[in-house]
Amino acid sequence: MNDRIAHRGPDGDGLWTDEAAGVALGHRRLAIVELSPLGRQPMESADGRFVVVYNGEIYNFQDLRGELEAAGHQFCGHSDTEVLLEACAAWGVERAVTRLVGIFAFALWDRRDRVLSLVRDHLGVKPLYWTRQNGALLFGSQPKALRAHPAFAAGLDRDALAAYLRLSYVPAPHSIFQGVRKLEPGRILTVRPGRELEETVYWDAEAAARDGLANPLNLSDTDATDTLEELLSDAVGRQMMADVPLGAFLSGGVDSSTVVALMRRHSDRPVRTFTIGFREGGYDEADAARAVARHLGTDHTELTVEPRHALDTIPNLPEWYDEPFADSSQIPTVLVSQLTRQSVTVALSGDGGDELFAGYNRYLWGDRVWRRMAPLPRGLRRAAAGAVRAIRPGGWDALFGLLPEGRRPRQPGDKLHKLAGVLASPGPDALYRRLVSQWNDPEAAVRGGVEPKDGALWDAGLAERLPGFVERMQHLDTVTYLPDDILAKVDRASMGVGLEARVPLLDHRVLEFAWRVPLAQKIRDGQGKWLLRQVLYRHVPKDLIERPKSGFAVPIDAWLRGPLRDWAEDLLSESALRSEGWFDPAVIRACWAEHLSGTRNNQHRLWSVLMFQAWTRHWARADAATPLAA
């Protein structure tokens, strides 16, 4: 099990067993703080009662250490692991984790009471999977570790596959394997002898949202900007703690540029920054990143990605993402992680700014569109959708191409066709689901799959608890898309090369502050992330930042018609689909034919199917001892 995740910790490994209790703990070490053997894991508490294995970083560990030392606790080394362990010993697990500021997934074994605690951080930056099978409770950072145990015998979950096809990721608490669960963020799973498993919520994103909305700040724009800058600067400064080289991902957008600007404040040497660019028009952000890097005086490294880089990367994606995962920005994320790891061991990222400060386009127009749509008869809305679809995406792209470059959105045809799909939605929450869905009817494509509808995305009572549609979308993104897509993508890509990615915007204190900020200070003048932008503009000129948002996108649509076509055709062939038995061949082949003809850009729907097909083939070959049974 330990060997299977050696990539997550290339600097050493450790094992600890309590044979009488039937407990074994394993750890792979990525040495960041306290590089000496005093930082090795598994680690025992000073009194010998507790043993921990832990992945992550506690950014306020020095504050907690001072408090524990004042109470008489003594420490052998200088690691955050030792502080985490002694905090749990002194205060109990639940009280200790409520004091932590950081990213973490850990297992704590109480030798005296024979209690195991599995804990995941507030927002789900670090992963934790668990399952009970054949008399064993197994847990680890990635499913491949669990699959290495002889007790593991789980087949694939067709229902989870249907959910995956909708979202391009398997939503927590499900995994692609039957009976294997993701521990959700802010949770403690307690295992006691002779008792049922107990799950405790120590921090809840919805409660933070409701509390923030109930207690809004009444600050002037200047005071709100000052407060946010101070809070972010503290988060960035704490996350620059490392005994190894450190840098940052830089796209040239608002979020990563803000992080890098604040890093400069805490560094006495140029910050090292890394970015990816593309030759294809409409996707390249390297020029913007280079301009920001030049202004901030960073030591900047960039890589221009060509189709051959993708071709080299794609066969390895199932190994990196050992659940099916189909956010195509995984490709540049892997590449930028590989590039970054050549120079540093820790990289700060700007993830989280869109969710916390209302940056996604759907926040800007979703509520407005619904308010205008709702009074119209559904028949009229359907007719309008038909009119939009009457012009192919390429036709809309040509029409929008007549606009000045600065006002021209990226891929307008695809976005208009997606809008057409939501015009007939019966309510705002159905509209949101349509916006975040790749396959709107995944059960039609997955043979025998029934999509589970037990998560936040399907919570009918959420509208009553969070009445504002924009706020509800922000919350849903924070508890679904953020941990299960964005953070999972970055975790697998970075840890796949032994690189730790840190996310200062997702310090839970920043989230709690953001929920208290009135919406008018997040969205203003038709633009999201208004308050975050005000912090950035104190450090970087506005004209270096203001441009159409493109995200970390890749031209999968063109690649599937070009250099990736043969690879895709092999995975989507009628014979392959029929023999493997997961999908309805007619549905998938029709989708593929549409894409090849240019009738419709089906890149996202196809990528979900392709990543699943590639994943099943890879693991069928790589691990015949635990085949992927249906």
Q: Please name every residue paired with 76 in a beta bridge, in sequence order, or none if there are none.
A: none
**3-state SS class at 502:** strand
| Positions of E strands within 134-262 | 136-140, 181-182, 187-191, 198-201, 246-249
Those residues whose C-beta lies under 8 Å from the C-beta of residue 410, and which sit 6 or more positions away, are 282, 548, 549, 550, 553
Contact 628, 155 (CB under 8 A): yes
- Angle, alpha carbons 422-428-432 (nearest 5°): 60
In degrees and rounded to multiples of 5, residue 246 shows phi and psi of -135, 145
> Per the annotation, does 276 bind a ligand?
yes
Question: Which segments of 5-82 are extended strands (E)?
Answer: 13-18, 23-28, 43-44, 50-58
CA 558 remoteness from chain centre: 25
Encoded tokens for 421: 């799909």
Q: Which of 132, 145, 144, 121 shows the shortest CA–CA distance to 180?
A: 132
CA distance 90 to 52: 14
State how far the Cα of 399 lies from the Cα of 396, in Å rounded to an integer: 5
d(Cα 87, Cα 611) in Å, to the nearest integer?
Answer: 42
- Is 255 one of the annotated binding-site residues? no
Q: Which residues contact 333 (CB under 8 A, 6 or more apart)?
A: 489, 490, 493, 552
Q: Which tokens hold the place of 359? A: 């940056």
Cα separations in angstroms, 611 against 183, 278, 287: 24, 22, 30
274 near 302, Cβ under 8 Å?
yes
Q: 95 by DSSP, 3-state: which?
A: helix
Alpha helices in 148-220 (DSSP H): 158-167, 205-214
Q: Are 129 and 143 in contact (CB under 8 A)?
A: yes
CA distance 310 to 323: 19
Assigned token pair, 566: 């043969």
Report how far residue 608's alpha carbon sits from residue 592's, in angstroms, rounded to the nearest whole number: 12
Any known ligand binding at 343? no
Q: Is 468 annotated as a binding residue?
A: no
Is the Cα torsion angle 400, 405, 411, 416 positive or negative in sign? Answer: negative
Q: Number of helices and strands (H, E) in the chain?
A: 29, 16
CA 314 to CA 326: how far, in whole Å? 11
Annotated binding site: 80, 276, 349-350
Annotated binding site for ATP: 276, 349-350
Annotated binding site for L-glutamine: 80
